[in-house]
Amino acid sequence: MEQVIQPLNPIAIDLGPIQVHWYGLIIGFGVLLGLIIALRESERRGLDKEIFTDLILFAVPIAIISARIYYVIFQWEYYSQNPGIS
């Protein structure tokens, strides 16, 4: 009796043209969990909670843009030949 394990579908949610991948959900939950921990710790230490919410508003877009630039740099042979294709 041999069982075959099927690989996990990398797409968690498919809403027509929008596809949400599992790694995106995991990263998003990690950011949210980090924010919750930072807010609890700021309350314990008497710091202003708005500092961390403001930091997230800047850090997440900068991280996304930086990760894309990093990816393009290391795939430069492909993107130099196909600049309009992501």
**Which pair of tokens denotes residue 7?**
């690989």
Q: Whole-structure pTM over 0.85, yes or no? A: no
- For 38-79, write each residue's pLDDT tens digit: 999 999 999 999 999 999 999 999 999 999 999 999 999 998
Which pLDDT value is given to residue 6? Answer: 87
Q: Please tell me the distance from the alpha carbon of residue 40 to that of residue 54, in angstroms, as a whole number.
A: 16
Domain containing 50: what range?
18-81
Q: Please tell me the distance from the alpha carbon of residue 83 to that of residue 85, in angstroms, as a whole number.
A: 6
Residue 62 included in any domain: yes
Residue 10 included in any domain: no
Q: Please tell me the distance from the alpha carbon of residue 70 to that of residue 82, in angstroms, as a whole number.
A: 17
Contacts of 26 (CB under 8 A, 6+ apart): none
Task: Give 20's strand partners.
Answer: 13
What is the domain count for the chain?
A: 1
